[in-house]
Amino acid sequence: MTTKTVELREAQANLKDLLSLVAQGTEIVVTDGTIPVARLVPVESCTTPRTAGLHAGAIWSSEDFDDPLPDTFWADPA
């Protein structure tokens, strides 16, 4: 992956062009003066589809999960 450093004002003026570079695989480092403040990288997309029910039964919640908490929970212990 190639990297390009761009000053903040230039990045603001040319955001659409920079995003085009990012889509092509270029990493953009945005600086404020000489200080790096942000990095633009392509979003990684999931190549395998998610399968519903793959881990059925692996997670559970108790029957009282959404019941109101007792007042003693909210009381200050001190």
Task: Grade residue 66 by pLDDT with cuts at 50, 70 and 90.
Answer: very high
State how far the Cα of 74 lies from the Cα of 72, in Å rounded to an integer: 5
State how far the Cα of 14 lies from the Cα of 20, in Å rounded to an integer: 10
State how far the Cα of 78 lies from the Cα of 44, in Å rounded to an integer: 48
For residues 77 and 24, the model is more confident at 24
Domains along the chain with CATH numbers: 1-42 (3.40.1620.10)
State how far the Cα of 67 lies from the Cα of 16, in Å rounded to an integer: 49
Q: What is the mean pLDDT of residues 10-24?
A: 95
- Per the CB < 8 A criterion, the answer to whether 39 and 8 are in contact is no
Task: Grade residue 35 by pLDDT with cuts at 50, 70 and 90.
Answer: very high
Task: Grade residue 15 by pLDDT with cuts at 50, 70 and 90.
Answer: very high
* Residue 78: per-residue pLDDT: 60
pTM, two decimal places: 0.58
In eight-state DSSP terms, residue 42 is P
